[in-house]
Amino acid sequence: TIDAKPATEQWWVDEVIRHRGKTNRNKECTPGYYNFEGEENRRQDGNYNGGFYQYFLHLTETKEDMEQHFAFA
């Protein structure tokens, strides 16, 4: 099994929250599943809106040091 370590999981939650609301692509959409029934800046279940390049860097750094971020059993 593989599990995210608590510190890594918390970092990711904080990162998603820090970048929430940086897009307005759902503002004009009919409220529904994909835009949380029209709620803005919802705390949970948000998308990462920090940009593709930043996300790519995060994935690369995580892949380079998996044991720092994940527990393997």
Q: Domain coordinates of the chain in residue numbers?
A: 2-72
pLDDT above 80 for 1: yes
Q: Residue 67, by phi and psi: left (phi above 0), alpha (psi -120 to 50) or beta?
A: alpha
pLDDT above 90 for 65: yes
Q: Residue 21, by phi and psi: left (phi above 0), alpha (psi -120 to 50) or beta?
A: left
Work out the mean pLDDT of the chain and round it to a whole number.
81
pLDDT bracket for residue 17 (50, 70, 90): confident
Radius of gyration, alpha carbons of the chain: 15
pTM over 0.75: no
pLDDT on residue 51: 86
The rounded distance, in Å, linking the Cα atoms of 47 and 68 is 24
The rounded distance, in Å, linking the Cα atoms of 50 and 31 is 23
Query: What is the arithmetic mean of pLDDT over 52-61?
Result: 93
The rounded distance, in Å, linking the Cα atoms of 51 and 23 is 10
